Structure 1
Amino acid sequence: MSLLQEQQPEVVALAQTLIYQIWEVRNRVVFRHGRMVVSEVLDRVKGMVTTCPTRVREGAPTSMAVWRRPPERVVKLNFDASFRDGKVAGLGMIARNHQGDIMAAATSYPVPIFSSLLAEACGLRWTMQLATELGFRRVCLETDCLQLFQWWQKEAVGRSYLDNIIRDCRSYVSFFDLFSLSFVRRSGNAVADFLARNASTYADCVWVEEAPDAVIGLINLDVIASRPSGP
């Protein structure tokens, strides 16, 4: 609890990542009869942290290491995709308000696709569609896929399959009174990541003002570690 209330985002991210990995192993032990290997947990934590360096190269977007609450009257939707077997993906989404309250959660599986980047783009389009169906009009979306974020920022859109998906996404923007897409580090996207990787368990579910019991612990960690953002 003390680490989660630190002022340094890197420390909070490390604590969240460690707790997240312990939670993952616990689920494997309880539900899949796996075993706890401390060195494996530490190696996974090290791998996740080193993929999110604290120093951001020049020209790259500044990203958050922890989940942050959105401004008042804005719904934040974190989404992620889990690409598996080279042919299908699972999608996960969690929507929360400025108090950290759950507004909605969702999963989609299977999504036929042939690359991880396309899976992330499909996740963006799916999340925007869900936001409109749920009646959210002031939204900020977060992805931990830097390539997708950079593609979204491109002014010119070509004719590739990915460009077509991005074009579809841009057509949804007009449905919102406020819209933004930001890049967040994986440690700040843990709930959506969990839902995406376990989408086959829930398979095309939508929860309104609630979420699966398996992610409540992660959601609580986000709320504890978060600090209200400015307008």
Structure 2
Amino acid sequence: MFIDKGGLGVVIHNHAGEIIAALSDKIPQPPSVTCLEILAARRATIFVNEVGLHESILEGDSETIIKSFQKGDMFQSAYGHLLKDTMFYVNSLRRYGFSHNYRNGNSVADALAKKAIFSFDSTIWMEYVPPDINSFVLVDIPLS
């Protein structure tokens, strides 16, 4: 079965690792995994602003993308416009940082992204995640 949709999953944690908000967003299938990872970072940054936060550490499991944000490179690449657009939202925060975590520390966002493909266009949860995602919360290793 060919799926022409992609999914984005975003989780916002507080400093204690508790969930503040979560998002599952269906999007058209991007041309590459790199593009999908950048779109996820962009949506996460927009979501942080929508929730009204002013400080954030953007975590992702793509080391290449996180390093691109940290170093400010790849802006001349095919996806440079998406990186620049993401940095526009990042720069609206008072304080921010970028952190690479491995996929096992990103399982909630990954599960929400997969859920998005077969769900409505966009769903937001405040202070919790849906019951079918709860088991992934216990597995995730929040940034401390």
TM-score interval for Structure 1 and Structure 2 normalised by the shorter chain:
0.7 to 0.9
Aligned sequence identity (%): 27
1:214 and 1:206 mapped to 2: Cα distance? Answer: 15
TM-score by length of 2: 0.86
2:62 and 2:72 mapped to 1: Cα distance? Answer: 18
Q: Is the 8 A contact 2:23 2:125 kept in 1?
A: yes
Higher strand share: 2
Aligned amino acid, residue 168 of structure 1: D
Aligned amino acid, residue 182 of structure 1: S
User: Post-superposition shift, 1:220?
Assistant: 2.9
Aligned amino acid, residue 83 of structure 2: I
Higher relative contact order by CA 8 Å / sep ≥ 6: 1 or 2? 2
Please point out which of 172, 175, 182 is paired with 2:92: 175
2:88 and 2:44 mapped to 1: Cα distance? Answer: 13
Show the counterpart of 2:7: 90
Please point out which of 150, 163, 166 is paired with 2:67: 150
- Structure 2: runs of 5 or more not aligned: none
Q: Kindly tell me the number of residue pairs found equivalent between the two proteins.
A: 142
Higher helix share: 1
1:207 and 1:155 mapped to 2: Cα distance? Answer: 32
1:94 and 1:217 mapped to 2: Cα distance? Answer: 14
Show the counterpart of 1:27: none
Name the SS of the counterpart of 2:6 in structure 1: strand
Please point out which of 12, 37, 58 is paired with 1:141: 58
Q: Is the 8 A contact 2:108 2:133 kept in 1?
A: yes
Show the counterpart of 1:125: 42
Tell me the C-alpha RMSD between the 2 structures.
2.2
Structure 1 residue ranges (4+ consecutive) displaced by more than 3 angstroms after TM superposition: 84-88, 153-156
Aligned amino acid, residue 184 of structure 1: N
User: Post-superposition shift, 1:87?
Assistant: 5.0
2:57 and 2:126 mapped to 1: Cα distance? Answer: 18
Please point out which of 188, 212, 216 is paired with 2:130: 212
Name the SS of the counterpart of 1:205 in structure 2: strand
User: Post-superposition shift, 1:150?
Assistant: 2.6
